Amino acid sequence: MTGQSSGIEKAYLNNAATSYPKPPSVAEAVYAALQRLPGAANRGGIDDFDVMGTVRQRLAPVLGVADSSRIALGPNATWALNLAVFGLGLRAGDWVVTTKAEHNSVLRPLYALKKERGVEIIYIDTDRDGLVLTDDWEEQISFHRPRLCVFSHASNVTGAVNDASRLTAIARGNRALTLIDLAQTLGWVDVRLEAWGADLAAFTGHKYLLGPQGIGGLYVRGGLELRPHLVGGTGIHSELDTMPPDMPLRLEAGTGNEPSAHGLLAALAWAAQNPLDAGERDRVSREVEFLRTALLRLRCKVANPDPSGPCTPVISFSVEGMSANDVGGLLLDCYDIIVRTGLHCAPRVFECLDFDPSAGTVRASLSRFTTHEEVVALIEAVKDIIASGCAS
């Protein structure tokens, strides 16, 4: 192997985990927040800018909802998914229908519900592209009449985007609540929660919203009340021995991450001034297709969602004769290319894909900042790895 032949200092292709780089204004906003006197939301003292409320207002149109008070902010999408799953009061005899494409942030709370409360879980297969099999989804929902249906808007392994409107309509038609995991799509794919009729939706700020780590949230439809999964101080109504009934305060125990909120607000403002339009999406999609085609020519096995359908900019692949971890290690150590390897915290989906369920894949995930040179560097590096005889 020659290594580092591209001339690129370091290629970051792990945006489905955390986006990088961020707009410069994001780091500037976080730094400025840490330099100023801390806010005192709901706690008196400093008459400060309500960053949390402003973030909610900016997020509402991105989520496709009218009432920003229905958005609770917390540390990440995992927090939000736990809040939703445990907050509905599911018990023995209740059913949940979900999919094999789910992240462990959904799967592990559901496993806990089954073990601790006797809740029954059904896992719907995906096709070989990672899309939920809609007929199976409808059949199982119609048969089991679940209280809750959970699905990821897009697979974090293949990038395939599900038809959220259709899946939600099927659940709603059977009087089931829907929880949508938007971690892989918000900021990249149009989201219209109210138009879809979604009841709950979890999201994070550090992926395609381009914000910092440490902030995410949960949308809760009006009229739906969750039991708080986390209780504690709120700054007001301190005389109550329960969490206040008002949204979003009811679900926001403890001190919020104001520096990250300032960073996310800066990212949302930047995105409003620099919208991700059809032309830019097409440019990134062409890079994804260029990468997919090149990997197939190198006889790699590639997860290949239908290019005619919506996809996030994700490519999963494997090199014959090599483990995903070994390929990823060589890409980093010899070529300064950062990818993700393994099962990507979504182990069940590999039962449906044409990959070794014990080994997983190499995952390259692009963003609007990914350059053609970085994509070419990955292709040349994989070509070099194969030619070196490491793959045998």
Task: Give which of 155, 138, 91 is closest to 117, Cα–Cα.
Answer: 91
User: What average pLDDT does range 36-48 have in this prediction?
Assistant: 62
Task: Give which of 50, 51, 70 is closest to 60, Cα–Cα.
Answer: 70
How far apart are the C-alpha atoms of 119 and 172, rounded to whole Å? 20
Model confidence at 43: pLDDT above 60:
no
**H helices then E strands: how many in the chain?**
11, 13
- Spacing of C-alpha 84 from chain mean position: 15
Mean pLDDT, rounded, of the chain? 92
The pLDDT score that the predictor gives to residue 5 is 46
User: What average pLDDT does range 25-39 have in this prediction?
Assistant: 91
Model confidence at 42: pLDDT above 80:
no
pLDDT band, residue 2 (cuts 50/70/90) = low
Model confidence at 10: pLDDT above 70:
yes
B/e letters for 286-315, b = 16+ CB within 10 Å, e = fewer, are ebbeebbebbeebebbbbbbeeeebbbbbb
Task: Give which of 342, 302, 343 is closest to 319, Cα–Cα.
Answer: 302
The pLDDT score that the predictor gives to residue 343 is 95
Number of other CB atoms surrounding residue 40 within 10 Å: 14
pLDDT band, residue 202 (cuts 50/70/90) = very high
The pLDDT score that the predictor gives to residue 41 is 61
How far apart are the C-alpha atoms of 226 and 15, rounded to whole Å? 32
Query: Which residues fall within 8 angstroms of residue 104, CB to CB, at 6 or more apart?
Result: 345, 346, 347
User: Could you give all domains of the chain from N- to C-terminal order, each with its CATH number?
Assistant: 11-23+276-387 (3.90.1150.10), 24-273 (3.40.640.10)
Percent of residues, the chain, with pLDDT higher than 70: 93
Note the pLDDT tens digit of each residue in 124-145. 999 999 999 999 999 999 999 9
What DSSP assignment string belongs to 247-271?
TTGGG--S---HHHHHHHHHHHHHH
Tokens matching residue 253: 């125990």
pLDDT band, residue 257 (cuts 50/70/90) = very high
Q: Pairing state of beta strands 361-365 and 340-342?
A: antiparallel
pLDDT band, residue 6 (cuts 50/70/90) = very low
Tell me phi and psi for residue 382, to 5 degrees.
Answer: -65, -40
3-state secondary structure at position 355? coil
Q: Report whether 273 contacts 39 (CB < 8 A).
A: no
Percent of residues, the chain, with pLDDT higher than 90: 81
Is pLDDT larger for residue 222 or for residue 38?
A: 222
User: What average pLDDT does range 275-288 have in this prediction?
Assistant: 93
Tokens matching residue 276: 């991700």
Q: Report whether 51 contacts 261 (CB < 8 A).
A: yes
Number of other CB atoms surrounding residue 240 within 10 Å: 10
Q: Is the dihedral of CA 186, 51, 200, 19 positive or negative?
A: positive
How far apart are the C-alpha atoms of 134 and 307, rounded to whole Å? 19
Q: Report whether 113 contacts 86 (CB < 8 A).
A: yes
Model confidence at 243: pLDDT above 90:
no
3-state secondary structure at position 136? helix
Note the pLDDT tens digit of each residue in 286-304. 999 999 999 999 999 999 7
How far apart are the C-alpha atoms of 251 and 214, rounded to whole Å? 16
Model confidence at 50: pLDDT above 50:
yes
Q: Pairing state of beta strands 216-220 and 71-74?
A: antiparallel
The pLDDT score that the predictor gives to residue 255 is 84
Note the pLDDT tens digit of each residue in 341-381. 999 999 999 999 989 888 899 999 999 999 999 999 999 99
pLDDT band, residue 176 (cuts 50/70/90) = very high
Model confidence at 11: pLDDT above 80:
yes
The pLDDT score that the predictor gives to residue 81 is 98
Model confidence at 47: pLDDT above 60:
no
The pLDDT score that the predictor gives to residue 40 is 60
